[in-house]
Structure 1
């Protein structure tokens, strides 16, 4: 089997677990004697919000465990690693449903945002809570008997808190209704990124696999975090770049960071390089919904060669991350775990 065929099979095997989990949760709702209307609402929410992504976070749990256990997994271990992977996908869905409301986004993964679906509106807030609750239902059902069950629960709680704190800093630094670019900085952007994205997108999948693999050494978890958080930072800066320069047909959404007054990497780089005249134009046009304002900001990005700056940053980050991986003590955790992540995200287009 070619590597492409192997990857397609891994995605297929992972995807097949989703309806099993969805049905288990719906069965629990039915057992509580809720009307079928409620069950179908939740089912529609699950299928709309949890599916449709790239599934990189979820698949990373499986990939990491295979590396840690030398590809010697039992059928049960494989299934349970996929369950943990889907728990991250449910967590992602919980964040995105809420995030789209806060950002007043229009599309997500090529479809209307959940709150934009007919008849949903602000019920989506409660639906996001249900998406989060499903995680702990799955953990209890499939891992309660395992020695690392509490570690899994605590890890999800900790990472959720870290992500929510990052989101709060993001929202208070850059509220949509009050543009104040003096609150922005490259340092603050980095802090937001680490908390809002890096913990749940990069550290969480690996840490979950490490618990399943029986790794107890705190030094190993720290070593993993020291590489995965910078990897997450690189990933989010890619996201900021793609929001402005990516093809909506490819990335599955229309970028709105400029309109939404986001404290993105791009605007922070522009602020650091802008002339007084350009700074004035940024102050006057950033965070405005009008396409004319957005066009002015994008022109400043072009004049300051922000895209070129990003390409340079990408190469520097790739080199720096490779150095970090090479310095890792391979007896703590295998380097291949991190190379696998690098291969997935380097020069991605969506």
Structure 2
């Protein structure tokens, strides 16, 4: 049987980046840590680390072990919390995965209604690549995945797509940059400095199609998987950047930028993906009801938006 104490030492070494740092963190000697690691590797019959110069790197087996160790100790922490606080067990757990291409402010606006239910709800939210989140949905580790595209059939994961809404795309920039390119929108965007979301996101796909169809060829300054980082570069005046129109006003307020105009033919769709064809979980039902009843129906193609708003980066 696996020695969980030794696994815990391995996990700390992997997370800390070395035996010495793990020993300091655990208040043990490096020799103790090294000895326990050696025993774990012997018991498993494989090496978990390889030495590269003065550094330790995970082997393929070590990487696999770390993934499962993360899950084991996360469950352990949740169990400890439940046992130390029995009242937590009375809360309605709502486990959600958010695909990393979905802007954080969109995710917040979609999930917020779940916390307004009469019963106490404990929201557990994870952000990751879609393939990993869909895998966790398949083994019932998640109740819902918020995504910017439907569940791909080729993954072989059973699930149902519930469209929450659609949004056009609006362009934002700091006022001096916006003033330079606004008068001849959208054709004047050719040659303009652009900051784009990463490949594989729905926003990037919709925008690329619109640019090609409109024969607009911007000068791409940077591409970002992290939408918050993209906005930070936009706030610094380094380029024009696209956002879903449903949050364009909010982004303008938060980042001190101006909206140039809207690409109404570039449409981004958002989905709630579940294993239920008919939604039953109260929090999931609340998310879909709120999205259908207000968030996406209030979209307005903003232009020259510069009012104040609450700060919600992402």
TM-score w.r.t. the length of structure 1 is 0.27
User: Greater strand percent: which structure?
Assistant: 2
Between 1 and 2, higher relative CO (CA 8 Å, sep ≥ 6) is seen in: 2
User: Greater helix percent: which structure?
Assistant: 1
